[in-house]
Chains A and B, each alone.
Chain A
Amino acid sequence: MKKSNQPSNPNRRKFLKGVGTGIAGAYLASPALETKAKNISNEILDSYEGKIDFSLTVNGQKYSRKIDPSKTLAEFIRDDLNLTGTKIVCNQGECGSCTVLLNGDAVYSCHMLALDADGGEVITVEGLESNDQLHPIQESFIEEDGLQCGFCTPGQIMSAYALLNKNSNPTDDEIKQGMAGNLCRCGAYPKIFDSVKAAIKK
């Protein structure tokens, strides 16, 4: 194959994450930022010091911080709060390993800016355990062995938790649909399915 002059391939997400003066507009697309961004000059964005006031309740505890506006929700949870149960795998909303609950809905936390969750309530996998007692869904994942390497497991558990919150008695098909957004490369699906099913009865 002959060489050719080709453009390098800018990745859309990196484009979004790379806060340059020319692309502040990209952030305006995010509703939570619309009002706040008015006061921020592009220079500040470019300097990495243009941190924005932000508050979020995570696992029942309220955090008020100044954060870098380019930070994703997953990065905030992992890096700022040190809650590393939430995993980053694809980092572009394809695999579900970063699933957390935001205001009761399962969301891909790698795929949204932390600022878009401003004022919201987040539950991560660490928030399911109370008084050293695992949540029944977590217990089911141990009993039914719904995991192998365990890296996608927090995301699987959070999706199951969201599913069962909304539908306490899902059919087999509803379980499969509800869990289809969570990839498991170890292929533990049959036992993940069994784990969700066992949790229904609890």
Chain B
Amino acid sequence: MSIKKSKFFFEEELIETIGEVSEEIYKTLPKNKKLKIIGKKIPRYDGYPKVSGKAKYTFDIKLPNMAYAKTLRSPFPNAIIKSIDTSKAKKMKGVIEILSHENSNDIKWYRDSSFLFDKHVRHEGDEVACVVAESENIAEEAIRKIYVQYEELDFEVDANDSMKNNKLKIHESGNIRKGKPDEYSRGDIEKGFQQSDIVIEDEFSTEIEIHNPTEVHCSVVNWENEKLKVWDSTQGIFSVRGSVAKALDMEEENVQVVKEYMGGGFGSKLEAGKYTVMAALLSKKIKRPVRIALDRKEMNLAVGNRPDSTQRLKVGVKKDGTLMALSHYSTASIGAYPTGGGCSWPLKTIYKCDNVKTEDYSVFTNTGKARPFRAPGHVQGIFALDSIIDDAAEKIGMDPLKFRLKNYVEKDQVWGAEYTSKLLREAYQQGAEKIGWKNRNKTPGSQSGYIKTGIGMASQIWWGGGGPPAHANIKITKDGIIHVYSGTQDLGTGTYTIISQIVAEILEVPIDKIKVIIGDTDITPYGPSSGGSTTAPSISPAVRDAAEKMKKKLLSAGAAIFKTEEQNVSYNEGIISNKQNNKIGFKEIVINVSGDMIVKGSREENLKGFVTQSFGAQFAKVEVDTLLGTVKIKNIVAAHDIGRTLNRQTLENQFHGGIMQGLGFALMEERIMDKDYGKMLNPNMHDYKIPTMLETPEIDVIIVSECDEKANNMGVKGIGEPAMIPTAAAIANAVYNAIGVRIKSLPITPDKILMALNPKN
């Protein structure tokens, strides 16, 4: 172990960290079929508590003497708070305390662009005051008895309108974040277009998507003297600890963040919420534990969404299919506070092209701030890119799949780094075969009858290589239970399960001997936030490191017990034998050792000069009813290169989930804003449509990779985001193949199909 400065990609950011890394070099594990536990259909570690109803989520935590908090939120999209009168609310029986900007310190929030309670509320749902009461119902009643005088201001809820509005300044610096677009270019874009035989240009758009995890954002907080304990439904216990400590001007060590189970996040729970800090302030004041849980409407308004996009693409190709030039211009509504909204990354890397230029405008609007949402940027970007790529292929009379193979690239085009592995070609080939690619309509829209079927595809690229620092400790207790501690999170992704599998495989012991403890900043060593598809590739190598070290420790303890040298003992299925064939089990070894049996494992450094990316392709078969305009997805084939499969069952499940969210994004999901009033019209699960079992197609998951041995000691890459990236684009291309008219804006709703088919009506 040593402390090193190392680099890794968290999405498009190259992150540099100084942290402890493992220097052990391990042999690549054999192929999955030769392993006993890894890669197999092992039932979920936390299956029992979840199906029995016994799992305690943050939402379910109840402490003695707990009080309940609720937030008053702005009904207006842009306003200045003139006065707040809480006298009536305070008089209500059961109301304990009320916080607002009038009686709390200015705590900086949203990258210092605002405050915890800001007098300037910049979107419907921005926080105004917070009430704590004896029950949630009383707190809810009380917030309606707070009288607030607002001075309403002009507002914009659409990115393109906001960019043009010179009179309105959502922030002092203007409505374009940083005052300029994020730009990138390589080669000579003009020359690229000049050298092309065909140049096409088009505009595409996608709508705002709301995460809608089933468990709303919530925290329970409790002070024990000067120490704050926070139960939080979060994707990053250490990041919440850091943010809460900073907001409250405390040492991080005095904040404990716990998360045992959580009801989904999808990116919306990566950052600390205002609600957690408000609850902590109230709890300190009233000296009681406080629970705060958003309701579904608050969740829709105030804790994140995927930015929308308007994308103008221009592509130049030669008649032989060579991609000569790609340019991309996009605008995205990032809401009222700073965050990124760009979507051009896939275009820079996925197809070979020497001349590229991109401009991404992240635009402030008077709506809830965007947050990362499962493959931020890529889902929107691939939809537009793979739509126009299909159009370009058709223009030159080339099969879209052949066109992609023609422009296949072996090396990363932005960083110039080698890929640790790339098996996209295999994904194309196996996916195409499974869907029956050769059966697609040679002439789109040419089928007779009003029901038309079509087949389409799209490609996927994503980071998901993870990196240090990430740790895992293993301790064997005298009862023979192997405890694994890691400061990571299980969002429903299966982190608990894969950790137990790796330890059971390496230590060759039954999986029920493993106990996994994650999600507690006080008792687990550091692990990174669970985002960017980095959990498995960051944590599992650290877990292997710890397990291998524990094996060595058991060998050395066995040798001591047998009064011999280490080279004279061997390890097999948790049993140490000496040359005389005396045997001692790991439990007995631990009993014989005084003191603790603990080891610390760490993630190794990433290989220099390489970048780990996951790749894949999805193929969609759709059925379009041209009279009703409805689209039915019949089949999705997902063929991906994701390194080693750790658990076939949880892997398939996560792919299904990404595909279902992609299907929702393609066909039904959109935040609908009332532009006149600046309010969201569908902040619930009835009017904001998400897919149900009825829309679920046949899904085939094909993993083309065995192990990415250059990526890390387990050979794994993340899968959470790759699963979703190409789905909507593949569906859009399949719809085009069915009806012969391209729908350029998502979601593809019946009205858009009918209008596209009957432009005159």
Contacts and interface: CB of A to CB of B under 8 A. Distances in A.
Interface stretch (B240-248, B582-590, B625-633, B647-655): B647-655
Given A89-B216, A188-B653, A18 B141 contact: yes
A1 B154 contact: yes
B152 A193 contact: no
B677 interface: yes
Nearest to B493: A148
A186 B652 contact: no
Contacts of A30: none
B181 interface: no
A2 B156 CA distance: 8
Contacts of B137: 17, 48, 68, 70
B657 A89 contact: no
A1 B675 contact: yes
* From B79, B94, B213, B692, residue with most partner A Cβ within 10 Å: B692
A124 B699 contact: no
Contacts of B144: 14, 18
A149 B215 contact: yes
B27 interface: no
A9 B679 contact: yes
* From B50, B59, B295, B692, residue with most partner A Cβ within 10 Å: B50
A92 B295 CA distance: 10
Given A1-B676, A17-B140, A191 B62 contact: no
19 contacts: A18-B140, A47-B93, A89-B214, A89-B216, A89-B685, A90-B296, A95-B685, A143-B43, A145-B41, A147-B492, A148-B492, A148-B654, A150-B50, A150-B261, A176-B696, A182-B693, A187-B658, A189-B656, A190-B656
Nearest to B49: A150
B10 interface: no
B140 A14 contact: yes
Interface of A is mostly: loop
Nearest to B92: A48
B678 A150 contact: no
Interface residues of B, number: 81
A85 B161 CA distance: 46
A187 B374 CA distance: 13
A61 interface: no
A185 B214 contact: yes
B155 interface: yes
A152 B295 contact: no
Given A2-B154, A189-B660, A142 B43 contact: yes
B155 A87 contact: no
B157 interface: yes
Interface string B205-216: 000000111111
Interface of B is mostly: loop
B272 interface: no
A109 interface: no
Given A91-B295, A148-B264, A185 B213 contact: yes
A67 interface: no
A153 B156 contact: no
Nearest to A10: B144
A176 B694 contact: yes
Interface residues of A, number: 69
Contacts of A117: none
B60 A84 contact: yes
B57 A151 contact: yes
Interface string A3-31: 11110110100100110000000000000
A14 to B, nearest CB: 7
Contacts of A182: 692-693
A192 B691 CA distance: 14
Given A6-B677, A149-B264, A126 B52 contact: yes
A183 B263 contact: no
B215 A151 contact: yes
B227 interface: no
Contacts of B77: 1
A185 B51 contact: no
A34 interface: no
A180 to B, nearest CB: 5
Given A4-B676, A85-B53, A189-B660, A149 B44 contact: no
Contact of A149 (B213, B656, B675): B213
B47 interface: yes
A8 B75 contact: yes
Contacts of A113: none
Contact of B155 (A3, A17, A88, A186): A3
A142 B212 CA distance: 24
A92 B493 contact: no
Given A125-B53, A129-B52, A1 B296 contact: no
A92 B685 CA distance: 9
Contact of A134 (B41, B51, B156, B297): B51
